[in-house]
Structure 1
Amino acid sequence: MKNSISLITLLVFCISCSAQHTIVDVSNKIDWTTNTYLKDTNNHFEDVLGTWKWEEGNSSFEIEFTKITNYNYDGINMAIDFILGRYKYIEDGVVVADILNNNSYTPLDFRATLVFVNPTEYTFIIHDDVSDKTKKGPFILSTNGLDTIATFSLRNPEGTVTYPTNIEFSLPTQLTLIKQR
């Protein structure tokens, strides 16, 4: 009986060990494989989390970045920490796009995300709900002594032929944002 309990305990331990992911920091792009947890172990994401805003006259662009932790992708045995974004764009007093308060927003249905490149640079990928187009580009962090600022410049993703619609991209493609306190 004692041997049976020991064997069952050993089997449960082995199964739980094999189900765990190897933890790799998001900065280590070389080790992204299956059975990996791509984790923000060094808290790189802290500098970009929160609300960022640009305002000029009656126009504004606001984006809120949130950290999603230990998200497991079905079928590939990989988990990841990543940054999810929600935005609101007002042009000349008219709301162009607003997913800032969308509570049905899920990680697989993201409209904006930041991908870690290094502590001061991310790749910004944003989907425009109005035109149904996606653009991406660098999101560069800096400081002006008082504020933390970020600049981005978006372009069409590589490999994109043409979009099937004549609607122009309705979001700003180049801005300087200030992190809100």
Structure 2
Amino acid sequence: MLPLEGITVVAVEQAVAAPFCSSRLADAGAHVVKIERPEGDFARGYDAAAKGQSSYFVWLNRGKDSRVVDLAEPDGRAELETLIASADVLLQNLKPGSMDRMGFARERLRKDYPKLICCTITGYGDTGPYADRKAYDLLIQAESGLASITGGPEGPSRVGMSIVDVATGAT
């Protein structure tokens, strides 16, 4: 028996950080339901190296159930509400404020589902001058100085993989 068997995670996620996190939870036995927008997670288009599929997407989303839910529509938000009501964990890494605007503010979720664990992955946290900004791996590599120690004589360069997103998802 795996340590997280019997745990349900609803993951409103895209790209790398949250999908890496939820893939670790799935590896530990959790049932992970990945919520994708109608056009799909944009990581599906990163490459076509895995038999025509994105290697990143396959790596980050194996072992999950994927559901297409249009959160821009009332029916989609109602479907997400139903999924959350039966979940143990809600994980999300949408643009800061997106879940709030759709009616899924953490304060409300804590009140309505007191046993629900809410995990929000952001680039800059909940408060401060950058709290409302989106973050990308390359941006954080540059801002942190990581890009300044990679590259060659022609200048700094990005680390070859999404190291900031992977480290964030791991922690």
Q: What interval of TM-score do these two structures reach, taking the shorter chain for normalisation?
A: under 0.3
Q: Which has the higher strand share?
A: 1
Larger RCO, structure (CA 8 Å, separation 6 or more): 2
When the two structures are superposed, what TM-score results if normalisation uses the length of structure 2? 0.26
Greater helix share, 1 or 2? Answer: 2
Higher radius of gyration, 1 or 2: 1
